[in-house]
Structure 1
Amino acid sequence: MNGLLTAVLLAGTTASAGPTVQVVWTSEKNPGDGAWFNGPIAFSHALSQQASGTFTNPTSTSATTITVDPSVQYQTILGIGTSMEESTVFNLARMSATKRTEVLRKLLDPSTGAGMNFLRITLGASDFTGRTFYTYDDRPYGQTDPSLTYFSIQKDIDYNIISTLKQALAVNPNLKIFASPWSPPAWMKDNQSLIGGKLLTQHIPVLATYYRKAIQAYQAQGIPIYALTVQNEPLYTAPDYPSTSVTSDQERQLIIAVRNELNANGLGGVKIWAYDHNFDSAASYMAPIMSDATANAAVDGVAFHDYAGDPSAMTQLHNSYPNKNMLMTERSWWGTTGADRMAQYFRNWAVSYNAWVTMLDSTIKPEQWTGTPGPTMLIQNAYTYDTYWVLPELYLIAQYSKYVQPGAKRISSSYGSSGTVTNVSFLNPDNSVVSVIINQTASSQTFKLSSEGQELLATIPAKTVGTYKWTRQSTGTPTNLLANPSFEAGNASSWNSEWHNAALAYKVDTDYPYLGAYKLTLFEVGAYQQLLGQTKTVANGTYTASVYVRSGGGQNVLRLYAKNYGGAEKTAEIGSSVVTNYTKYTITGIQVTNGSIEIGVYTDANAYNWAAFDNFELVKN
């Protein structure tokens, strides 16, 4: 056992043993201190595996209690990661291929690294770059290019951005990448400069085309773009680096134009995230956008930065627009305070977190920001490029990213207090519970994890974050009787294509699943009909079937069905309407009398109609 006892079991020999708990610690060291640029500093725990604990019956021991209730579930987690802005790419490109791969694995590999699965990139230059500021259609002063004849992402190829992202995807094929622009081409702005200025409203249509062409160009390079924020920090015009003022009404128009461009060019699955700025002005900026029905339907989520205001702004927006995702797209923190701030993001409905700037060198380069950056999670020696050191911050983020799976649900848990320990907890798709415990104090803290009638008594060192992971034993919910219900096998095993009229019009893919890494998509370039189902032998009785669905609309027929159970076929009609966000469709009261049932989906669709399905469920009532 570790000297600082991870789990002290005090229930006695008659205690009922519960699940075993995996325990991992990371400790802070000199958080945010510029001394990190001078070289590595030793610290005590870096994703350090501790002795396992075991849940027992409740004890009378007095300690801060964190109550975790997996039956009460909130938002679905999309991803956790960092940025691959050009400063980081610049430094990675100076490394040997072997070292560059090593760094990417430390960040992205789910087995040997931090398991980050969400990357932010910039469309054109940001302030964190070693290059002359650029966009994809720069013209001499006074010239315009409304036909985008000169559009090109060649600089992203020349500057190793494309090759680095390809390598990142090779390390983690489940990586999702989203893009943010700092400035449109200067000729679209009132000051004819990438630095500062305002977007000219008359250029909104061509800017939408510009974004679509950028996404297509990346896709042609084998790099799918999961989502787009239409303008980084639209309320701030920087004095010396790319930025653009975009009013709320301009963003409303731009979102509609971009959505139309994407839909018209086979990119309907690319998400649009609005705002991408600080907490404090979010509600007022978003109100005119969300009150427009067309813009509202086009927006998948609202993106936030944390440089002003409070994370509770995300809860405010979630309460106003409960079907929209809240995303933390930019903020880097240090130490246990930063780990607690991450907990606050998730407790305020964030479905994601991205740190900003991954690796500068020991001379704090390259960057063109207005201030002096703090230490990044990785620092490269500016003179021997293959030498680098890892800060605690990489491991502190990994306390989340390595253990909280895509598709996890945040679950109910006590927050605790900064004077003892704080917490946020999740239920993974594989039924494991992850509870992140943060000790920001200068002394070790003893606490209880209490969940579903049992408890774990544990002690965590000062200035340390602990991840406590266990398999949930009491689900409190009926068993899903379907095999491969979310297609996490990576294929449609257990599902049968009973009938289709032309091409086989279904596939299992990774583009925007509801849970986990995969989903089912029905699609074909021509008109098509497709039926896909699963037959199960079950006990006679009453059953409920359901599935989560998104659809581009336009189908003649789109339905969930239940048949061959001893009664007339029952359906939940999804119909021809657009279903923007995943929506649950349910068939109730299925009375099985012959010991068998078939559950599936059927569509009679027109050319290019698509629908996505995830998390099929069949349960006995």
Structure 2
Amino acid sequence: MKTLQKYIILSLLTVMSCMENKEVLQVEIFETSAKGHALTKIETFGNQVNDSVVKVELFPETTFQTITGFGGAFTESSAYLLNKLSKKNRDTILKAYFSKDGANYSLTRTHMNSCDFSLSQYSYSPVEDDINLEHFTIEADTSDLIPMIKDAMKVSEDGFKIFASPWTAAPWMKDNNHWVGGKLLPKYYDTWALFFSKYIKAYQEEGIDIWGFTVENEPHGNGNNWESMHFTPKEMTDFVEFHLGPKLEADGYGDKIILGYDQNRAGLKEWVDEMYRDEKSSKYFHGTAIHWYESTYEVFPEALQYAHNKAPNKYLIETEGCVDSQVPEWKDDAWYWKKEATDWGWDWAAADEKYLHPKYAPVNRYARDIIGCLNNWVDGWVDWNMVLDRQGGPNWFKNWCVAPVIVDDENDEVYFTPLYYTMAHFSKYIRPGAKVILVDNQDEKLQVTAAQNLDGSIAVVIFNEFETPKSISLSLEGKTADFNIDGQALQTVFIQKT
């Protein structure tokens, strides 16, 4: 008996000695949670919350893709709403998105011509059969959209990239002579390529540099609901290889990024196979753009990996995602953590595809998707509208959606939803040029990703979508940080450069 007691005492002393000698990894932890944290710095880590500890180890020597950025879209709807607010609230929103103290967005999108989140339908080429686009004008953007972009540029110390997407050419260029559906007439392929070049120049004259384009928003169409123009993979690739790419090159814009596809991930294979069919076509495609609407629950890792392996040195950017088919809840943080939200496929999805469109909490959709994307070669993730009203608009089609920031423009009130803080967990701490690094995460239910920034700092994003808190032991190069993550919580663990 004395021998056993002696053994236990010696064992305890050994454990205590190891604990005393364990090197502590210095971290800062920021949490957003269903209990009310909103990118809140956790000052005390507390005691272990349960018997099992999740071990997470970082391996910065093993790197994957280089981050392009995170952000949202400048739309006419958002810009219009900002102009209806007081200067104080307008400035508050822009600083929240673009300042270093805020989300510090680094990658943004805007639309060319009108889209569903415009107040009306319009084109920069309003005169029919204007083949040389002598009447090209961006006047429609000068009241709201351009001022929003310029003001964001003033706020942003680091700057941000902007890519533009057309929803459709003017009806006179299309085979159905309509804003919705139809295809670009082959006789206008050169005119449409010129349109992109004219757009770059017009925005340059406004002091705005366009980083690149997606060739067409949702080339499969959108159920013929709002502005659209259809391309097959071959039609888009031919347009880029023989018209758009050469035109931008000839006009001195060969450095502008061209992203192909720009729709749901499930269809990636046929598109990247065609886009990168040979060296001539690959020359003009700088990457692939994707959306999440095939499922805001399933990440489609196999499709993402296929796209990366097809063109490992090209961009792979999620260019649009939002909680759609919903009127946003006003000042009700709890709703954004509840499984009450649906997506557009909830009502019509076939029985064997219903699993792709479950009721799923809005925060979960964002956090799960961004982490899943980063862990499968995606290098940029762009939200849709930055600002919407309490109805989820305005837009001409009455296509209501949720945005991270909701405003009551009539009463000059602003609501930062939990989605805003969710986006900031990534955009604020994972900066352009960062490398996604290898993570060994021993808990399949805990979602984790990590990236090392150019300055050597590391951001680890951890999402616990379940209600049970977890204890975590995070290790890096022999040092360890022990902490807890609450149930239904998202954390960014930030490790400064050593």
The answer, yes or no, to whether TM exceeds 0.5 is yes
Counterpart-to-counterpart distance in 2, 1:287 and 1:50: 47
Partner-residue secondary structure (3-state), 2:244: helix
Alpha-carbon deviation of 1:279? 0.6
Alpha-carbon deviation of 1:450? 2.3
393, 415, 420: which is aligned to 2:419? Answer: 393
Aligned length: 436
The 1:416–1:355 alpha-carbon spacing in structure 2 relative to 1, beyond 3 Å, is farther
Within-5 A mapping of 1:368-517: 368-369=396-397, 371-373=399-401, 375-384=402-411, 386-415=412-441, 417=443, 419=445, 421-471=446-496, 473=498
Gaps of 5+ in 1: 1-8, 29-42, 55-60, 474-621
Q: Which stretch of the first structure deviates more once superposed, 249-258 or 440-449?
A: 249-258
Query: Contact 2:264–2:290 at 8 Å: present in 1 too?
Result: yes
Partner-residue secondary structure (3-state), 1:93: helix
Alpha-carbon deviation of 1:17? 2.9
Matched, 1:24 2:30: yes
Query: Contact 2:84–2:409 at 8 Å: present in 1 too?
Result: no
Gaps of 5+ in 2: 1-14, 324-361
Which one has a bigger Cα radius of gyration? 1
**Residue 261 of structure 2 aligns to which amino acid in structure 1?**
Y
Counterpart-to-counterpart distance in 1, 2:103 and 2:16: 34
Residue 40 of structure 2 corresponds to: 48
Query: Contact 1:204–1:253 at 8 Å: present in 2 too?
Result: no
Partner-residue secondary structure (3-state), 1:51: coil
Residue 280 of structure 2 corresponds to: 294
Counterpart-to-counterpart distance in 2, 1:264 and 1:53: 58
**Residue 451 of structure 2 aligns to which amino acid in structure 1?**
F
TM-score (norm 1): 0.67
> Which of the two has greater strand per residue?
1
Query: Contact 1:190–1:198 at 8 Å: present in 2 too?
Result: yes
1:273-313, CA deviations, whole angstroms, 9 ceiling, x for partnerless residues? 11111111111122122113222011111000011164321
Partner-residue secondary structure (3-state), 2:31: strand
Alpha-carbon deviation of 1:268? 2.0
The 1:416–1:103 alpha-carbon spacing in structure 2 relative to 1, beyond 3 Å, is farther
TM-score (norm 2): 0.83
154, 159, 167: which is aligned to 2:139? Answer: 154
Counterpart-to-counterpart distance in 2, 1:242 and 1:86: 14
**Residue 307 of structure 1 aligns to which amino acid in structure 2?**
Y
Within-5 A mapping of 1:54-73: 62-73=52-63
Query: Contact 1:24–1:50 at 8 Å: present in 2 too?
Result: yes
Residue 178 of structure 1 corresponds to: 163
337, 352, 355: which is aligned to 2:380? Answer: 352
Alpha-carbon deviation of 1:417? 4.5
1:234-257, CA deviations, whole angstroms, 9 ceiling, x for partnerless residues? 011542311010121221122122
Counterpart-to-counterpart distance in 1, 2:172 and 2:16: 70
Matched, 1:14 2:20: yes
Residue 557 of structure 1 corresponds to: none
Query: Contact 2:63–2:437 at 8 Å: present in 1 too?
Result: yes
Within-5 A mapping of 1:60-209: 62-110=52-100, 112-130=101-119, 132-139=120-127, 143-158=128-143, 160-173=144-157, 174-209=159-194
Residue 568 of structure 1 corresponds to: none
Query: Contact 2:54–2:472 at 8 Å: present in 1 too?
Result: yes
Query: Contact 1:290–1:296 at 8 Å: present in 2 too?
Result: yes
Residue 350 of structure 2 corresponds to: none
Residue 535 of structure 1 corresponds to: none
Counterpart-to-counterpart distance in 2, 1:302 and 1:136: 26
Alpha-carbon deviation of 1:14? 2.6
Counterpart-to-counterpart distance in 2, 1:78 and 1:50: 28
Partner-residue secondary structure (3-state), 1:339: helix
Alpha-carbon deviation of 1:371? 4.8
Counterpart-to-counterpart distance in 1, 2:279 and 2:96: 43
Counterpart-to-counterpart distance in 1, 2:218 and 2:471: 42
Counterpart-to-counterpart distance in 2, 1:263 and 1:22: 46
Alpha-carbon deviation of 1:363? 2.7
Query: Contact 1:336–1:439 at 8 Å: present in 2 too?
Result: no
Counterpart-to-counterpart distance in 1, 2:217 and 2:420: 24
280, 289, 301: which is aligned to 1:303? Answer: 289
Partner-residue secondary structure (3-state), 2:466: coil
Structure number with the bigger relative contact order (C-alpha 8 A, sep ≥ 6) is 2
Partner-residue secondary structure (3-state), 1:388: strand
Residue 260 of structure 1 corresponds to: 246
Q: Which stretch of the first structure deviates more once superposed, 16-25 or 271-280?
A: 16-25
Query: Contact 1:318–1:349 at 8 Å: present in 2 too?
Result: yes
1:354-409, CA deviations, whole angstroms, 9 ceiling, x for partnerless residues? 01112211133202457542x3211111421x211110110011111111111100
Query: Contact 1:21–1:52 at 8 Å: present in 2 too?
Result: no
* Superposition RMSD in Å: 2.0
Within-5 A mapping of 1:540-579: none
